[in-house]
Amino acid sequence: GNSVTQMEGPVTLSEEAFLTINCTYTATGYPSLFWYVQYPGEGLQLLLKATKADDKGSNKGFEATYRKETTSFHLEKGSVQVSDSAVYFCALSEWRLTDKLIFGTGTRLQVFP
């Protein structure tokens, strides 16, 4: 079945450091890929998405590229801020089949000043 695997956390960085959070997926067909972010005490918010191979999603300085050949969608940011501290979830949607979202286990990011 479809699944998403992302790196375990927590990821601990100093402010202005470079961030990578790895995400790989297993899916039949042509999934859309997403990164959601959950700030403390809140629900999940869509951070960025990509709907086909080689698409790059970007938002708030974060980027991720849909790599079909490596089945990956790694999240990157060139310079993190304390306010980026949150839990990040990679997800896929097989919209042609069910339109459900399948989530990874989440990666907690902690950024220190």
Binding region for another protein (CB under 8 A): 32, 34, 36, 41-46, 49, 51, 89, 93, 95, 99-106
Task: Name the residue nearer to another protein (CB basis): 85 or 93.
Answer: 93
Distance separating alpha carbons of residues 61 and 46, to the nearest angstrom: 14
Residue 1: burial class (beta carbons within 10 Å; 0-12, 13-18, 19+): exposed
Task: Name the residue nearer to another protein (CB basis): 13 or 34.
Answer: 34
Report in angstroms how near the CB of residue 13 gets to another protein at its nearest.
Answer: 21
Distance separating alpha carbons of residues 74 and 88, to the nearest angstrom: 11
Distance separating alpha carbons of residues 33 and 64, to the nearest angstrom: 9
Task: Name the residue nearer to another protein (CB basis): 37 or 80.
Answer: 37
Report in angstroms how near the CB of residue 57 gets to another protein at its nearest.
Answer: 11
Rg (the chain; Cα; Å): 14
Report in angstroms how near the CB of residue 36 gets to another protein at its nearest.
Answer: 8
